[in-house]
């Protein structure tokens, strides 16, 4: 249930920490896992002291940037084909570019398996764990 003004965690190393949804693409309903959305970066991620000298290089995005993203976790439960439900404690997304490739190179955090059916296998393979 991600819609206008929803704040999501960004779980890749693109440099964004918290983003705000401004649009849901290709559907008239709230977004869920696997949906593409348009976000505004609200908070940048502060990397460790070793990378503080080259923040500009590490952070591929800045605060206020408008980017596309893919929802990878949602608080609203989703139904699997066998009737089971999966839900997470937070809403999270991964930034992608216009062609659909992830901007970041690493991801931290579990993602939902539903990404596979939606042509986001690349994100799924980057993720450390999927449910």
Partner 1 sequence: MASSSPILRQLGCFRSLLKPQPQPQPLLQSPLNRRALSTVYSTRPTPKPLPENLPEQFIKQLPLHLRPKDPKVRRPIPPPPPSPCTKCKDPVAAVEEAQLAVLDPTGERRALFDYRRSPRSVKPGDIVRVTFKNGDPFNGVCLSIRLRGLDTSFLLRNHLTRVGVEMAIKVYSPNVESVEIVQRAQKRKRRARLFYMRDPKHDMGTVENIVTNYIRQKRALSGKKRAPVKGRK
Partner 2 sequence: MTPRLPGKLVHLPLISTWGFQYIIRSQVPIRTFGIRSLNPPETSRFNVGHDLPVLKSTPTAALERKANTLPLRTGAIATKKGMTAIYDTETGKRVPCTVLQLDRVEVVSHKTRQKHGYYAVQLGSGWRKPANLTKSLLGHFTANGISPKRHVYEFRVKDESGLLPVGQMVNADWFQEGQYVDARSNSKGKGFAGVMKRHGFGGQDRSHGVSLTHRSLGSAGPSQGGGSRVYPGKKMAGNMGNEQNTVQNLKILKVDSENGIVVVNGSVSGPRGCVVRIQDAIKKPWPEDMSPSSS
Cα–Cα distance, 62 to 72 (Å, whole number):
21
**Nearest CA among 10, 11, 1 for reference residue 40:** 10
The nearest distance, CB 57 to partner 2, in angstroms, is: 47
Partners of 66 in beta bridges: 40
The single residue among 46, 52, 105, 108 that binds partner 1, judged by CB under 8 A, is 108
Q: What angle do CA 86, 111, 93 make, to 5 degrees?
A: 110
Contact yes or no for 98/67 (Cβ under 8 A): no
Which residue in the set 1, 3, 55, 90 belongs to the binding site for partner 1 (CB under 8 A)?
90
Do residues 43 and 9 touch, judged by C-beta distance below 8 A?
no
Minimum CB distance to partner 1 smaller for 17 or for 86: 86
Q: Which 32-61 residues touch partner 1, going by CB under 8 A?
A: none
Q: Which does 119 bind (CB under 5 to 8 A by kind): partner 2, partner 1, none?
A: none
Task: Between 56 and 81, name the residue whose CB sits nearer to partner 2.
Answer: 81
Nearest CB to partner 1, comparing residues 46 and 90? 90
What is the gyration radius of the CA atoms in the chain, in angstroms?
14
Residue 128 interacting with partner 1 (CB under 8 A): yes
Residues contributing to the site for partner 1 (CB under 8 A): 73, 77, 82-90, 92, 108-110, 128-131
């Amino acid at each position: 249930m991600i819609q206008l003004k929803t704040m999501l965690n960004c779980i890749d190393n693109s440099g964004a920490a918290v983003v705000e949804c401004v649009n849901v693409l290709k559907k008239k309903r709230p977004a869920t896992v696997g949906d593409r959305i348009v976000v505004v970066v609200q908070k940048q991620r502060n990397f460790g002291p070793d990378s503080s000298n080259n923040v500009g290089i590490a952070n591929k995005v800045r605060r206020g940037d408008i980017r596309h993203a893919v929802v990878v976790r949602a608080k609203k439960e989703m139904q699997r084909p066998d009737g089971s439900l999966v839900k997470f404690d937070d809403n999270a997304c991964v930034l992608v570019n216009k062609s659909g490739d992830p901007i970041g190179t690493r991801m931290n955090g579990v993602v939902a398996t539903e990404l596979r059916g939606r042509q986001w296998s690349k994100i799924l393979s980057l993720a450390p764990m999927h449910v």
